[in-house]
């Protein structure tokens, strides 16, 4: 957690977000309009732009940009995106302070799967933009991966400050802010951090993203375990949300202090959804040296910190690919 008042950060200064869509059948447009509403949770003021008629030079003054674009035919831009893309290819490095992320829609039945989105991703970088969140390539069942991408991209774009700088240390607080959780601002002089599992990480030779855990997280875990009660605030509501989102009935999972979450690395896609929804900062993302890559996330895997996991099962419900199960600690 940071020492910044995230509520003030999310509601002051330039909070503009620009969402551009390239759409042939209406799917990209529908997502853009949906995300415009979602952006309010992050304190952002989103404007949706049809790529048709959009002036590429106006993008130079934008600090936060999301692009959702479908692929038409054999790797072609949708009709409303062709002219803008042609202009973007030849415009040069006009983006000096623009953070962006791309959501690509496509169909794996075609050889040039999501090619339009891939082209936009490269072109935005060629224009001088900074990729703040990895592109996602969605197949015909795009709703779930697009939703996950939106949460990740928007939580980071919301942490771009008035000067256009990305404040990565605020992402965790911003995710909590968007979920409606109460954020406690840390007093700088009172912050005491503790390396949780340092020896294990060093022995594994892994790279941690959320390595230092404030003592207040550990205090919450101890209180929950001592009282023999699981934290319930928001958990049941969140589980219901995930069930509705995924449109499936999840099996009943054992829970409690005698159980621990377990990640199946073969299934884990490294989306970080479990990290965002863990109430106790008990999940880390670590780097794995893999010989083969089958997805853009595969070099990162979730790792459960067994000394802070309270067995609440929320991560299992949050996981979009059912890579997390519960096992007895005994």
What's the pLDDT at 154?
Answer: 95
pLDDT of residue 218: 40
Instruction: Record the pTM.
Output: 0.57
> What pLDDT, on the 0 to 100 scale, is given for residue 288?
58
**Within a 10 A sphere around the Cβ of 35, how many other Cβ atoms?**
25
Nearest to 280 by CA among 238, 312, 318, 302: 312
pLDDT tens for the chain, residues 1 to 330: 567 889 999 999 999 999 999 998 889 999 999 999 999 999 999 999 999 999 999 999 999 999 999 998 888 999 999 999 999 998 999 998 999 999 999 998 888 999 999 999 999 999 999 999 999 999 988 988 999 999 999 999 999 999 999 999 999 889 888 887 544 444 434 333 333 332 222 222 333 333 333 333 344 444 544 444 444 444 455 555 555 554 444 456 777 778 889 998 888 877 777 887 777 778 888 765 544 434 333 457 888 887 788 888 888 877 877 888 888 887
Q: What residue segments make up the domains of the chain, in order of their start?
A: 6-174, 192-328
How high is the pLDDT of residue 35? 95
CATH of segment(s) 192-328? 3.30.70.20
Query: What pLDDT shows up at residue 64?
Result: 97
The pLDDT assigned to 126 comes to 96
Of residues 78, 98, 75, 74, the one with CA closest to residue 14: 98
pLDDT at 321: 77
Question: From CA 309, how far away is CA 274, in angstroms rounded?
Answer: 12
Superfamily of domain 6-174: Flavodoxin domain (3.40.50.360)
Distance of CA 146 to the CA centre of its chain: 10
């Amino acid at each position: 957690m940071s020492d910044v008042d995230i509520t003030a950060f999310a509601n002051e200064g330039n909070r503009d977000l620009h969402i551009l869509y390239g759409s042939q059948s209406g799917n990209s447009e529908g997502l853009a309009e949906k995300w415009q509403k979602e952006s309010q949770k992050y304190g952002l003021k989103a404007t949706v732009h049809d790529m048709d008629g959009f002036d590429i030079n106006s993008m130079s003054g934008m600090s936060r940009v999301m692009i959702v674009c479908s692929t038409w035919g054999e790797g072609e831009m949708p009709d409303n995106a062709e002219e803008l893309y042609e202009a973007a290819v030849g415009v040069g490095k006009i983006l000096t302070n623009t953070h962006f992320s791309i959501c690509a829609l496509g169909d794996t039945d075609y050889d040039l799967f999501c090619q339009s989105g891939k082209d936009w991703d490269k072109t935005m970088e060629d224009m001088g933009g900074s990729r703040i969140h990895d592109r996602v390539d969605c197949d015909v069942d795009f709703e779930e991966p697009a939703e996950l991408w939106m949460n990740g991209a928007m939580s980071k774009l919301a942490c771009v400050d008035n000067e256009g700088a990305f404040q990565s240390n605020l992402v965790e607080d911003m995710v909590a802010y968007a979920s409606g959780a109460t954020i406690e601002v840390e007093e700088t002089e009172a912050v005491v951090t503790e390396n949780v599992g340092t020896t294990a990480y060093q022995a594994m030779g892994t790279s941690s993203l959320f390595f230092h855990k404030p003592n207040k997280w550990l205090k919450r875990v101890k209180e929950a375990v001592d009282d023999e009660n699981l934290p319930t605030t928001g958990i049941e509501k969140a589980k219901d949300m995930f069930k509705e989102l995924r449109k499936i009935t999840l099996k009943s999972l054992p829970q409690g202090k005698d159980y621990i979450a377990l990640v199946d690395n073969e299934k884990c896609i490294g989306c970080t959804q479990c990290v965002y929804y863990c109430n106790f900062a008990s999940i880390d993302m670590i780097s794995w040296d893999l010989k083969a890559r089958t997805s853009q996330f595969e070099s990162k895997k979730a790792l459960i910190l067994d000394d802070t996991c309270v067995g609440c099962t929320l991560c299992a419900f949050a996981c979009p690919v059912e890579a997390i199960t519960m096992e007895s600690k005994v």
